């Protein structure tokens, strides 16, 4: 692995932490895209206070976490996506590894693990995300809005 790729992997971790709006014990990021595949970025995290896995889709519904600047928050997500895409290109350029999907697992202490899928994914974005959730979490997290209003 090159120094540049190592640095990009650390940047992914730092950018990922920036988009998680509260203290967490574990976090998971799923990226799928590149090379003609429709791109998706999805993540979830286990909230330390609620002791629940919170999917990215539920962040805007949280009443206990206030995001002061939604535009700045979206820009952080864009930065994360761009760093992943840059990393994907560097893997191909420097290591001749062409991957389509990436899983980034991060624990609350900052330790991370990255894994890749080298086969072209099949199915819709929703089907791919659901498959990823089952494979990595054992279920598809769904959070009721009332669970977020504690």
Structural domain spans, the chain: 3-148
Dmax over CA atoms of the chain, in Å, equals 48
Mean pLDDT of 5-13: 95
Instruction: Show the tokens assigned to 120.
Output: 């072209």
Query: Which class in CATH covers the domain with range 3-148?
Result: alpha beta
Average pLDDT, the chain: 87
pLDDT for res 146: 60
Contacts of 131 (CB under 8 A, 6+ apart): 123
Residue 144 has pLDDT above 90, yes or no: no
Q: At what angle do helices 70-95 and 3-19 cross, to 10 degrees?
A: 160
8 A C-beta contact, residue 119 and residue 100: yes
Mean pLDDT of 54-83: 77
8 A C-beta contact, residue 28 and residue 115: no
- Stronger pLDDT, 61 or 133, i.e. the higher one: 133
- Stronger pLDDT, 67 or 30, i.e. the higher one: 30
Residue 67: burial class (beta carbons within 10 Å; 0-12, 13-18, 19+): middle
């Amino acid at each position: 692995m090159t120094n540049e790729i190592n640095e990009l992997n650390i940047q992914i971790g730092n950018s990922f932490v920036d988009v998680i709006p509260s203290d967490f014990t574990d976090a998971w990021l799923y990226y799928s895209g590149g090379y003609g595949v429709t791109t998706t970025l999805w993540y979830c995290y286990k909230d330390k206070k609620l002791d629940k896995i919170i999917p990215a889709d539920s962040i805007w519904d949280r009443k206990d976490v206030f995001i002061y600047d939604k535009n700045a928050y979206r820009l952080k997500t864009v930065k994360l996506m761009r760093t992943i895409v840059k990393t994907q290109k560097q893997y191909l350029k420097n290591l001749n590894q062409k991957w389509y999907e990436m899983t980034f697992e991060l624990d609350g202490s900052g330790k991370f693990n990255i894994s890749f899928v080298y086969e072209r994914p099949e199915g819709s974005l929703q089907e791919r995300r659901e498959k990823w959730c089952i494979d990595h979490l054992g279920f598809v997290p769904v959070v009721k809005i009332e669970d977020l209003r504690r």
